[in-house]
Structure 1
Amino acid sequence: MTQLPFFRRLIPVRVLLALGLLVGASGAHALCLPAVCTCTAQTTNLLFSNYNPLAYSTSTTTGTVTIKCGGVAGLLIPFTIALSQGGGTSFATRRLAFGAHTLSYNLYADSAYTSVWGDGTASTVTVGGSLLLDVLSLLGSATYTVYGQIPARQVTTVPGGPYTDAVTVTITYQ
């Protein structure tokens, strides 16, 4: 009996969370005006381990979005965080790309991978909260985890290479 060599293709994958437009306070309920407070945001990229398209388990990783605000003590700053579709055409399955080759993946707001993090449309959720500025430091911050998942057993004909996607993070202060 002759055995053929078995080759595993491991594919390096990463998702860049690009901080998008920081939208200032909107409407008559605007609390975070430039003269009253300032806010910044920072993201970390999601770096998947090498993906094996023949594996029976999903590939998962996490990244973060952190919001920091400073200003008047006791100020309450409500906000929402939305994530774009990235280079894909829908939130149902975002796409990682290496040239013309793609892998499906998605981003979630929960560790159970059930709530797709998007812009609130097409059955997606946004994440939000409120920052209460500390009386002593005049600062407030919040960090949110972004959960990434690549489904198991995708097409085995994709070549190895750096698969990436860029997702825009939009923070709206309300």
Structure 2
Amino acid sequence: MNFRRLFFALAILLGSLVVTSTPAEAACAPLSLCSCTVSTTGISFGSYIPVDATNNESSGTVRVQCVLLVALAGSYTIDLSTGSSGTYAQRTLRNGASILTYNIYVDAARSQILGNGSGGSSRITRNFTALLGVDQTTTVYGRIPAGQNVPAGSYSDTIIVTVTY
């Protein structure tokens, strides 16, 4: 099996900022005659209110597009980095020395932390069959737990998304 990795940053922002990402591109091996691109929509949590009793939740997407010149069936995995926290257990949004904890999940119930399969995290694997192309979008889910007493400001984190196919 031929493995390629695509890396790009998925910005996680708190506030009213618009999230954009730069597509990454890699070519498949010459025998498979394909090329793939990956793009994201970041997770924008909007305003966080420290005295609010409900979690702040949002979602983003990872889109994988491949142009194939021969019939192909296969799969790819989506892995996320830990971001600035260095751990999957509790990712952190930062504003200078101030920290706001959050995490990213595989599922809408927010029960499986999305990572690379280590440290209690899960990875996403998608299967596909295609003759000429693949275009799949996967939703990822974010949550900032309620009750964190943090100063006002713009908090952010950068997550590296790795797609292996």
Distance 1:60 1:113 in 2: 10
The answer to whether the Cα contact below 8 Å between 2:40 and 2:60 also exists between their aligned partners in 1 is yes
Instruction: Output the amino acid matched with 2:151.
Output: P
Distance 2:23 2:88 in 1: 17
TM-score computed with the length of structure 2 as normaliser: 0.82
Q: Structure 1 pair 116/106, CA: closer, same or farther in 2 (3 Å)?
A: same
- Partner residue of 1:168 out of 148, 160, 163: 160
1:97 aligns with 2:94: yes
Q: What's the CA shift string for 1:31-57, capped at 9, x where partnerless?
A: x42451111000011100200111110
Q: What's the CA shift string for 1:64-86, capped at 9, x where partnerless?
A: 00000011342113110000001
Q: Structure 1 pair 21/87, CA: closer, same or farther in 2 (3 Å)?
A: farther
Q: Structure 1 pair 83/15, CA: closer, same or farther in 2 (3 Å)?
A: farther
Partner of 1:6: none
The count of residues paired between Structure 1 and Structure 2 equals 151
Q: Which has the higher contact order (CA 8 A, sep 6+)?
A: 1
- Partner residue of 1:122 out of 92, 100, 119: 119
Q: What's the CA shift string for 1:107-156, capped at 9, x where partnerless?
A: 0000000000001001110001123224xxx11111110100000101x2
1:142 aligns with 2:136: yes
The 10-residue stretch of structure 1 (84-93 or 12-21) with the greater mean CA deviation from structure 2: 12-21
Instruction: Output the amino acid matched with 2:29.
Output: L
Task: Give the secondary structure class of the aligned counterpart of 1:51.
Answer: coil
What aligned pairs does 1:1-174 form with structure 2 within 5 A after superposition? 12=15, 32-34=28-30, 36-134=33-131, 138-154=132-148, 156=149, 158-173=150-165
Gaps of 5+ in 2: 1-13
Instruction: Output the amino acid matched with 2:116.
Output: D
Q: Structure 1 pair 106/20, CA: closer, same or farther in 2 (3 Å)?
A: farther
Task: Give the secondary structure class of the aligned counterpart of 2:62.
Answer: strand
